A and B are shown apart, each in its own frame.
Chain A
Amino acid sequence: MSLESALDGQIVICAGPGGVGKTTVSAAIAMEGALRGRQTCVVTIDPAKRLADALGLEALSNQPHRVPAEAFEAAGLPAAPLDAMMLDTKTTFDDLVHRYAKTEDRARSIIDNRFYQAISGALSGTHEYMAMEKLYELYWMGNYDLIVIDTPPTRNALDFLDAPKRMTSFLEGKLLKWFLVPAVGGGRGVFRAMNLAAVAFLRVVQKVIGAEALKDTADFFANFEGMYDGFKERAQAVYELLRQDLTRFVVVVSPTDQAVEEALFLVSSMASHHLHFGGLVVNRIHPRFKGAGGEPAGTPLGDRLVQIAEEFEQVRLREEQSLKRLESEVPSRRWVRIPYMNTDVANLSSLNEVAETIFAGSEHLARD
């Protein structure tokens, strides 16, 4: 009943449905790593304000920052080598364009392109792609013993895994290039006649989305020419990094049917992709008040509490029922349960409480 094996690796990726507390769990795992003396970085996607404040995070920097020693001190903990950052998808994508563009001009014209602006922020899969891209960058910087990554809430559980591949095949735009060429000279419109069907189709498309949008698209792919190989190689390298021995996937879930459904899918696709499973965290469980129910307690307050306790017990049983289907997929020694806390995670000491629950029973090497 511990997540110990997740910390054996160098990279921990926390995945799971939206609204289950992935960010908090990621931060807690990173904190544990750092308290054990490992140079650690946690990449968060959209932390709650109090958690962000607790980690000393500021938006828009897109680079890791050291969590101040005073924050650890205030929590009664020794200062630990913990860095944290908030992922900025757009900036990460821009950086990537700058990295692979042949010239600065070309990078500029891509970044100014309206089609690029539309896809770099909004295209489904972009967030996932950029989270993995950031992971790769941090990994190769070589400054960290442990990198913990929070993943964006995805509609399809393993989007973050396929995202780099899907994005590169999109950017390659084979089919589209077949239709479009850069608008050279002008006068003949934005497309050349490869065949009549294509032209007929493009006429309709142009009518629908307008000539300008079509031109933006053509320009984008023209400018992207030549950068594609770099992107593709990198996507492949990211994919290999995700599958290597020292990368561990932690699935975070909450005890509802819907979340369990998504987690099951996630666990089984991880197995088929040969990813290394690092454990299951069930977050936001109603606690058990053993022996509280039953006969009236003899005072009005006590009697009402007996009712409340019995209602909570019903909820707890419902939650256990939802979790049942995960039991056959994940052996119980890989499970960790985190009950609802009485307070929000607003500082490092409450984050440490979460970490202690996750790693209960583990040997706290650096802490002793």
Chain B
Amino acid sequence: MIVVKDVCKRYGDFTALEDISLEFSNGLYGLLAPNGAGKTTLIKMLATLISPSSGEIQYNGENIVAMDQRYRELLGFLPQQFGFYKNYSPAQYLFYLAALKGISKQQAQVKIDELLAKVALSDVKHKKMKKFSGGMIQRVGIAQALLNDPKILILDEPTAGLDPKERARFRHLLTDLARDRLVIISTHIVSDIESIANEIIMIKNKRLLYKDSVEQICETLRDAVYETTVDFSQLDEFRKRFVLLSEKQEYGKMIVRFIHKGEKEEGWIPVQPQLEDVFLYEYQDEMVEEL
């Protein structure tokens, strides 16, 4: 079990994370927040690449930094920007990383073949990676994270560059993997984790906002999400009054999905809140800033 205890991360005057406390046991966790919220900082701390300014992270009661390679040998990590050796083939690169992970030559050969088949790259295992598409590179990244059959699998934006078919295939893979290990996926794409995560972690204003199941998080917007039809002429006014979650054009009118915490008005249809609704609601300010 991983325990994040009162962790803060500061860079000079800038605070990236404040007072984060979390617990992870086996299962799949989705770390959901917009870009720049501090997801990658937390992920890098879990991968021992950066150290907390205060607080600590423990694995089974022991500080992960002190555990050193005993911790990292349990870890599989795919960073957001997965760097690779352009002039190496996937087989060569995975063979190098297998050495860094302490896997013997013989075991590595078998494991590499198995993983490249799993990510559908067997046909190009000896081709130089400089010719690979973004999706193929990402699949090499996923394969390397699984090389040491990790007990803790941390994936930072793992679906970047994958096409819809590959995403679906990847979700199945993760569901299988999460059965007997701890998987943490950091993403800002709700659909990547909504259907597969046991728990969702949301960070807002550098602090932990939620750590709960999808259902429980959606409960926070119970009786507050509606859909209604609005004339185009009234749309601007409507936008000013409510937090709009989505807009869809149909038969010359707009069907809007929005949040209202108060009395229901006529013509509004209450709908079941989704994780995306919570995401859009909670991070509306950050999104306006991003725009």
Q: Determine if chain A interacts with chain B.
A: no
